[in-house]
Amino acid sequence: MEGLSAPFDVANSMQALQLTKFGDPRDSVRLVSPGAPQPVGRELLIDVHAAPVHPSDIHLIRGFYGLQPELPIDLGADGVGTVVQTAADTDRELIGRRVVLIPTYTHGTWAGKTVADKRSTVVVDEEADLMQLAMLGVTPITAQLLLTKYEELKPGDWIAQTGANSSVGQHIVQLARLGQVHTVNLVRREAAAAEALAAGGDRAIVVDDDLPKRLQDALGANELALVLDSVGGPAIAELAHHVRYGGKIVTYGALGGERTEIEVRRDLIYRDLSHHGFWMNNWLQRAPRAEIESTYRAILALVSRGELKARIDQTFPLSRYKEALARAERYERAGKVVFRPD
């Protein structure tokens, strides 16, 4: 059966960004113009409105991500768009609905149009901020899982995080504040410290040689229930000294490129601390479908009400992909880089 479509043309040529080899984004990514893909089975054809660039996307392009797909592949893990065509009669009610794409790495979102399995989408509120919805697939979900998967936080608890001015870091601050959990936010620039405080953080510390004293002054007699790390390096060992007995340290990134070392006797053994690694793809592959759906619905409600948001640095059309990817790799930016294919 031919796909059912909305009353506008989907046969026009489209643009998409593809990865042809692993390496420098300037040399390994290309803009192609295939025809509009056709949905089959329970697939949906989606007109993509906005799709963010995450550090994981850059890692995939450069060849040191947890996935090593066969090339070429269409790029872009998540985003937001409108369903314009379906293959199944039973899905026809979705035509014209706005959906968020879940990052299953089975579709590319840096494209004018993409085909995705129905189970890789979540119908969303069309009144919600489009740019915040574009990030819903990865960023706020990551923050929510980091805060709930490893430790049962209670009002009044203290946590610490590195890379606090990142988009995930901003969402961690906001979600923690909603739960009355206090945050100590480590950053690498004074301007980033001000951003963390403006987002609702309780303390902000610029990482330097005086970190032990700064942490002591920030925490006083309080202990940390949880440390969330996206940077790595020696700061984590110092944070570990302030984690309460049985507390958790969770690493979900290594943006600093340095080895993370925690004192074995003082922290891991004598105070029963544990160090975990988090990769969202593992959760998507292993969690029950009901858990995935309920987590997305809970975060969607907060985004729709404007209670959860992250800064957008700059938007780019697909044709300016080299500029966009170079911008995304810069540490000193004011938020997320987003493609606007339309």
- The count of other CB atoms within 10 Å of the CB of residue 314 is 15
pLDDT digits (tens, 9 = 90+) for 178-195: 999 999 999 988 999 999
User: Which stretches does DSSP call E strand in 42-136?
Assistant: 43-53, 73-74, 79-86, 98-101, 113-117, 121-123
Give Cα separations from 159 to 60, 195, 226, 256 (angstroms). Answer: 30, 18, 5, 20
- CA–CA distance, 224 with 227 (Å, rounded to integer): 7
Q: Greatest CA separation found in the chain? A: 68
Strand partners, 82: 47, 98
Phi, psi angles (nearest 5°) of residue 48: -80, 130
Predicted TM-score of the model (pTM)? 0.91
pLDDT digits (tens, 9 = 90+) for 106-165: 899 999 999 999 999 999 988 899 999 999 999 999 999 999 999 999 999 999 999 999
Tokens of 15: 């643009």
User: Which of 192, 196, 184 is CA-nearest to residue 222?
Assistant: 184
Query: Given the structure tokens 């706005």, which residue do they identify?
Result: 98
